[in-house]
Amino acid sequence: MKVLLIEDDQKTGAFIVRGFAELGHSVNWSVDGKIGLEVALKERYDVIIIDRMLPGLSGLNIIEILRKKCITTPILILTALSAVDERVEGLETGADDYLGKPFAFSELIARVRALYRRGKDENVGSREEIIIGDLHVNLRTRSVSRAGRRLDLTPQEYRLLEFLIRRAGQTVTRTMLLEGLWSYDFDTQTNIIDAHVSRLRSKIDRDFKKPLLHTLRGVGYVLDAKN
Amino acid sequence: MLRIKRTLSLWRTATFRLAMIFATIFGFGAAILLIVLDFGVARFAEEELHDALRHQMAIMRADAQLEGGAALANILAEHVRTDSINRYYYLVIPPSGEVFNSGIPEEVKTISGFGTLQATASDVSRNGEISKIGVIVLTERMPDGTFMAVGRESSYLNALRSGLNRIAIWGSISLILLAIIAGLFIGMLFLRRLEHVNSTTGRIIEGNLSERLPSIGFGQEFDVLVRNLNEMLDRLEAAIAGMRQISTDFAHDLRGALTRLRNQLEELESSSDTQKTKIESAIEEADSLLSLFNAMLRLARLEAGSIQYDMITVDLAEIIRRAIAAYLPAAEDGGRQLLCNFDKAYPIIGDPALLSQLIANLIDNGLCHTPPNTTIEIELLSEADAVILKVKDDGIGVAEAEILNLTKRFYRTDQSRTNPGTGLGLSLVAAIVELHRAEMKIKNRYPGLLIEITFKHATL
């Protein structure tokens, strides 16, 4: 995965570059908005990570220019301005995801990977059926079956499954689920996601030998046919 | 040490200046009133005099028409001679016969109608002494050529005028003086009372926060002002005491969590192989620290008003339904019931994200601080101009003495001390409630707790 990082904070930038490099991804890092934009226009990247407040040119301006030039590379905004309305503003400008600082590295890498995958298989959205192992999910009729056995899911469970299966093989963090399924961003002291996941797991995994829905402790979940 | 100027000069006080302005306005007003009055009275007296002269002239005219000018002169001469208190002067010049003149000089002939001139009169009361006096005259010429004039002394009119002028001048001066003295007096009185307030303020500035301002007296508006200021001081004092408590509690919480984290890391360092579960529990510890800071930041931003929010019409029922859908599995896993029972919309004016956070915190609170098998019920009631949100549980409730403290930061009841949570949940709820100008009441319902929030109704 080839990533462009436009971030003026030395500490954050170095931390991200090192983290991505350890996972085998190459990162080009620019500390200036104008230079970052030039690089983004010249070369093709899989994902671009942009800070909102930058010297030279603001993150939102860069995104605007890139989108006007029809560059559709997935963009994640990484910023300290993470109030709900700032998030909405960022996404409306053309960013694909938004992560508030401070952030956990696991959260960032999960989101960047999700964007990378979305960029690659763009036909996922239009597909009628997604199959993971012996789990079949029909996106049109919303019917779910595993090993030929029809599974009855509640609407909530189905939404969770659809969210996970569209990102099959990728790590989905709790925050991504909270944002994706309950659209409002609220802090909670209760493990509400875990409870939903365990419901879903009891339906799609309990009576079958091979589990598909895995927990990554401290990070999130992944739906995958591989172990 | 901060020094403040506590002594005020009377001359520079607003009260005194106001009194001076009032004195000036009042004095001028009084002066104008007196002058107008004076003028009016003088005019009235002059009119009276004119009327009297016209009346005399009418009688003379009637006599002259009836009996002729010469006869009139005789009649008048007779009249003047017999009537000792005659106040009029006459002049009759008939076309033939004797002229009658009781003191009006000849130049009166040049006057037509009303006029004034100097007459010589022998004052009977002063032994026939001849004196010059001002006279107002009315003249008329009859068709037969008789010239008639009647006059009356105008000196008493002048006396009246100058008397009135004196009253006007002295009246105005004394009124202005009175107003200034009253202004000074009130200013001094006011200053003395303010002096108390000022010295108290000085002591408060120097750090004695429990001092309260004395009553200024004088009137309701000052008492209301002092009451409001004192109320402000009450709140400030409570807030400062609260802040001190908060810093202590926060440091305490933080130290506990950081010590645990440090111990875990130390253990990891000493163990030869990396133990995954230990790393995970250290991450969990760090996460709970982060959520504590997040909650603090959120609360601080909310209270500082630096959070952007959109007050729009939202359906509270929809927000609650959504929250319950999210929380239901977790509640059931913990052996608790989460119920709501409403099917229509309950529109209020509010920020959707903040209201979601409010509901989330109330449910968190219910799930966190109740024993298993507790039922948490959310009710909505619609009243004429309000929507009432009730969150009730049949858990262990809260000791009556602790209820008021529930919304304080980091406050934990004795029973809940070991429960997870940041100790900020209800503080955040209280801040969101305040932002929505709603009202929150927390009551024991034996068993359990009732949290009631009254929002203003919004019409869709």
Q: Residues near A184 by Cβ (< 8 Å), separated by ≥ 6?
A: A84, B322, B352, B353, B356, B357
In whole angstroms, how far apart are CA A10 and each of A17, A52, A73, A76, B361?
Answer: 10, 15, 24, 18, 37
Number of Cβ within a 10 Å radius of residue B189: 13
Cα separation of B288 and B267, whole Å? Answer: 20
Identify the bridge partners of residue B113 per DSSP, sorted by sequence position. Answer: B139
Cα separation of B247 and B239, whole Å? Answer: 12
Cα separation of A146 and A142, whole Å? Answer: 13
Contact status of B385 with chain A (Cβ, < 8 Å): no
Which string of DSSP letters, residue by residue, matches B146-195? Answer: -EEEEEEE-HHHHHHHHHHHHHHHHHHHHHHHHHHHHHHHHHHHHHHHHH
Using a CB-CB cut-off of 8 Å, the residues of chain A touching B357 are 184, 186-187
User: Per DSSP, which regions of A8-151 are E strands?
Assistant: 26-30, 47-51, 75-79, 97-100, 129-132, 135-138, 144-146, 149-151
Contact status of A23 with chain B (Cβ, < 8 Å): no
Per-residue pLDDT for B135 more than 70? yes
Mean pLDDT score of chain B, rounded to an integer? Answer: 82
Contact status of A106 with chain B (Cβ, < 8 Å): no
Per-residue pLDDT for A35 more than 80? yes
The minimum CA-CA distance between A71 and chain B, rounded to whole Å, is: 32
Q: Between chains, do B329 and A198 touch, taking CB under 8 Å as contact? A: yes
Task: Locate the chain A residue with the closest alpha carbon to B423.
Answer: A189
Q: Which pLDDT score, from 0 to 100, does residue B124 have?
A: 52
Secondary structure (3-state) at B347: strand
- Assess contact for B78 and B63: CB atoms under 8 A: no
- Assess contact for B354 and B309: CB atoms under 8 A: yes
Contact status of B367 with chain A (Cβ, < 8 Å): yes
Using a CB-CB cut-off of 8 Å, the residues of chain B touching A159 are none
Contact status of B353 with chain A (Cβ, < 8 Å): yes
DSSP state of B137: E
Residue with tokens 């000074």: B184
The minimum CA-CA distance between B248 and chain A, rounded to whole Å, is: 23
Contact status of B356 with chain A (Cβ, < 8 Å): yes
Q: Between chains, do B322 and A182 touch, taking CB under 8 Å as contact? A: yes
Contact status of B333 with chain A (Cβ, < 8 Å): yes
Using a CB-CB cut-off of 8 Å, the residues of chain A touching B333 are 195, 198
Q: Between chains, do A186 and B360 touch, taking CB under 8 Å as contact? A: yes
Using a CB-CB cut-off of 8 Å, the residues of chain A touching B332 are 195
Nearest alpha-carbon partner for B299 in B435, B156, B443, B133: B435
Query: Residue type at B361?
Result: N
A155 preceded by a cis bond (ω within 30 of 0): no
Out of B287, B307, B367, closest to residue A190 by CB? B367
Out of A84, A184, A218, closest to residue B284 by CB? A218
Out of A85, A190, A217, closest to residue B330 by CB? A190
- Assess contact for B151 and B119: CB atoms under 8 A: yes
Nearest alpha-carbon partner for A193 in A208, A215, A211: A215
Q: Between chains, do A186 and B352 touch, taking CB under 8 Å as contact? A: no
- ipTM associated with this complex: 0.78
Out of B283, B327, B356, closest to residue A218 by CB? B283
User: Per DSSP, which regions of A66-183 are E strands?
Assistant: 75-79, 97-100, 129-132, 135-138, 144-146, 149-151, 172-173
Contact status of B286 with chain A (Cβ, < 8 Å): no
Nearest alpha-carbon partner for A221 in A188, A185, A203, A196: A196
Q: Residues near A68 by Cβ (< 8 Å), separated by ≥ 6?
A: none
Task: Locate the chain A residue with the closest alpha carbon to B319.
Answer: A184
Q: How confident is the model at residue A189 (pLDDT cuts 50, 70, 90)?
A: confident
pLDDT tens per residue across span B36-54: 887 888 788 888 889 988 9
Out of A83, A102, A192, closest to residue B330 by CB? A192
Q: Which pLDDT score, from 0 to 100, does residue B84 have?
A: 66
- On the 0-12 / 13-18 / 19+ scale of CB atoms within 10 A, A34 is middle
Out of A189, A196, A218, closest to residue B425 by CB? A189
pLDDT tens per residue across span A155-174: 989 999 999 998 888 889 98
pLDDT tens per residue across span B204-253: 888 888 888 888 776 788 888 888 999 999 888 888 887 787 788 778 87
Contact status of B423 with chain A (Cβ, < 8 Å): no
Using a CB-CB cut-off of 8 Å, the residues of chain A touching B308 are 83-86
Q: Which pLDDT score, from 0 to 100, does residue B3 have?
A: 47
Task: Locate the chain B residue with the closest alpha carbon to A195.
Answer: B330
Q: Which pLDDT score, from 0 to 100, does residue A40 have?
A: 93
pLDDT tens per residue across span B262-314: 888 888 877 766 677 778 788 888 888 887 888 888 888 887 777 777 788 99
Contact status of A182 with chain B (Cβ, < 8 Å): yes
Per-residue pLDDT for B385 more than 70? yes
- Assess contact for A31 and A39: CB atoms under 8 A: no
Q: Which pLDDT score, from 0 to 100, does residue B151 have?
A: 87
- Assess contact for B175 and B196: CB atoms under 8 A: no
Contact status of A194 with chain B (Cβ, < 8 Å): yes
Provide, rounded to the nearest whole percent, the portion of chain A with pLDDT above 90.
50
Per-residue pLDDT for B257 more than 90? no
In whole angstroms, how far apart are CA B72 and each of B68, B137, B324?
Answer: 6, 18, 121
Find which of B297, B311, B356 to mutate to test the A interface (most A CBs within 10 Å of its CB): B356
Q: Which pLDDT score, from 0 to 100, does residue A227 have?
A: 67
Residue with tokens 């360092």: B269
Per-residue pLDDT for B375 more than 90? yes
Q: How confident is the model at residue B381 (pLDDT cuts 50, 70, 90)?
A: very high
Between the ranges B165-174, B317-326, B413-422, B450-459, where is the mean pLDDT highest? B317-326
B290-303 exposure pattern, b = at least 16 Cβ within 10 A, e = fewer: ebbeebbebbeebe
Q: Between chains, do B330 and A83 touch, taking CB under 8 Å as contact? A: no
Per-residue pLDDT for A30 more than 90? yes
Query: Residue type at B114?
Result: F
Contact status of A22 with chain B (Cβ, < 8 Å): no
Out of B283, B295, B333, closest to residue A187 by CB? B295
For range B369-376, the mean pLDDT: 90
pTM over 0.80: no
Q: Between chains, do B326 and A192 touch, taking CB under 8 Å as contact? A: yes
Cα separation of A100 and A78, whole Å? Answer: 6
Chains A and B form CB pairs within 8 A to the count of 65
The minimum CA-CA distance between B251 and chain A, rounded to whole Å, is: 21
For B336, the token pair is 């608790």
Secondary structure (3-state) at A128: coil
Nearest alpha-carbon partner for A197 in A225, A163, A227, A170: A163
Q: Between chains, do B308 and A156 touch, taking CB under 8 Å as contact? A: no
CA dihedral B301, B306, B310, B311 (to 10 degrees): 80
- On the 0-12 / 13-18 / 19+ scale of CB atoms within 10 A, B86 is middle
